Amino acid sequence: MNLVVALDGPSASGKSTIAHILAKRLGLVHVDTGAMYRAVTLLCFKRGVDPKDEKKACELLKDADIKLTIDDKVILNGEDVTKEIRNKYVSDNVSYIASYKTVRLFLVEQQRKLADNLSIVMDGRDIGTYVLPEADVKIYQVASVETRAQRRYKENQEKGISTSYEEVLENLKKRDYIDSHRDFAPLKPAKDSIILDTSNLTIEQVVDECERIIKEKVKERNENIG
């Protein structure tokens, strides 16, 4: 029986990092849905389309072949764009792309197919509420916007991405607002999500707690089946 774990939370809450480590530790496949939206955003720039132009952005979907590899690479139309999708101009515009219903439906269809066939940890913003409402385990990570900004700023520095802390903080505030106020599948925890505040936890501590939650839920599921 497949195991499906939904890991949600706001931007820069550490979802992808945690999901990647969890997947390796538990022998699951990691599906980074945020990377898929970033790939569509990048495609807009490559084709000279303003990401704020919903009609033109959605028209590009017919030319969007997005693949996620087991080693967490993102392939867009045959090109490895793993690093490119993390550029500032993509980060500044991805929430617009993610707010378009046509884009979400296009990518959600792909995400659900993966969940039908694999044991996965899928991270995003609406996995537990919309993409995979029947997920076996739902965890919603939270942290203060200041904590998240500091983490993202440090991450950018390590990757050689030139941004100030203030720029990162303002970007996250804007993304939080857009993500939580969009009409279709807004950012919010599912009613049966376990809320995990990571503000004062190390990555290792968060992974350990997520693993404990998952194993507890799996035990409950197996007991109910038995």
Q: Is residue 224 part of a domain?
A: no
DSSP string of 74-143, one letter each residue: EEETTEE-TTGGGSHHHHTTHHHHHT-HHHHHHHHHHHHHHHHHS-EEEEESSIIIII-TT-SEEEEEE-
Share of the chain above pLDDT 70, in %: 100
**What confidence tens digit (pLDDT) does each residue in 172-204 have?**
999 999 999 988 889 999 999 999 999 999 999
What pLDDT, on the 0 to 100 scale, is given for residue 223? 84
Q: Is residue 175 part of a domain?
A: yes
Evaluate if residue 71 carries a pLDDT over 90: no
Distance CA 190, CA 102 (A): 22
Evaluate if residue 225 carries a pLDDT over 80: no
Instruction: Please name the residues in contact with 212: beta carbons below 8 A apart, sequence gap of 6 or more.
Output: none
Q: Is residue 56 part of a domain?
A: yes
- pLDDT confidence tier of residue 215, bands split at 50, 70 and 90: very high
128 is in an annotated binding site: no
DSSP string of 148-184, one letter each residue: HHHHHHHHHHHTT----HHHHHHHHHHHHHHHHH-SS
- pLDDT confidence tier of residue 224, bands split at 50, 70 and 90: confident
Q: Is residue 131 part of a domain?
A: yes
Distance CA 208, CA 59 (A): 42
Q: Is residue 35 part of a domain?
A: yes
Q: Of the candidates 123, 15, 22, 105, which has an alpha carbon nearest to the alpha carbon of residue 68?
A: 123
What pLDDT, on the 0 to 100 scale, is given for residue 131? 96
Q: Is residue 217 part of a domain?
A: no
The predicted model gives 124-149 an average pLDDT of 96
9 is in an annotated binding site: yes
Q: What 3 state SS string does 20-73 have?
A: HHHHHHHCCEEEEHHHHHHHHHHHHHHCCCCCCCHHHHHHHHHHCCEEECCCCC
Distance CA 152, CA 14 (A): 9
Q: Is residue 223 part of a domain?
A: no
Could you give the angle at which helices 33-46 and 15-26 cross, rounded to 10 degrees? 130
162 is in an annotated binding site: no
11 is in an annotated binding site: yes
Give the domain CATH number at 120.
3.40.50.300
- pLDDT confidence tier of residue 161, bands split at 50, 70 and 90: confident
What pLDDT, on the 0 to 100 scale, is given for residue 160? 86
The number of folded domains in the chain is 1
- Rounded to a whole number, what is the distance in angstroms from the first to the last CA of the chain? 13
Region for 22 from its dihedrals, namely left if φ exceeds 0, alpha if ψ lies in -120 to 50, beta otherwise: alpha
**What confidence tens digit (pLDDT) does each residue in 8-51 have?**
999 999 999 999 999 999 999 999 999 999 999 999 999 999 99
What pLDDT, on the 0 to 100 scale, is given for residue 226? 62
Evaluate if residue 67 carries a pLDDT over 80: yes
- pLDDT confidence tier of residue 1, bands split at 50, 70 and 90: confident
Query: What does the block give as tokens for 137?
Result: 């385990």
Q: Is residue 132 part of a domain?
A: yes
Instruction: Please name the residues in contact with 169: beta carbons below 8 A apart, sequence gap of 6 or more.
Output: 145, 146, 149
51 is in an annotated binding site: no
Q: How far is CA 209 from the centre of its chain?
A: 19
**Residue numbers of the domain that contains 96:** 4-212
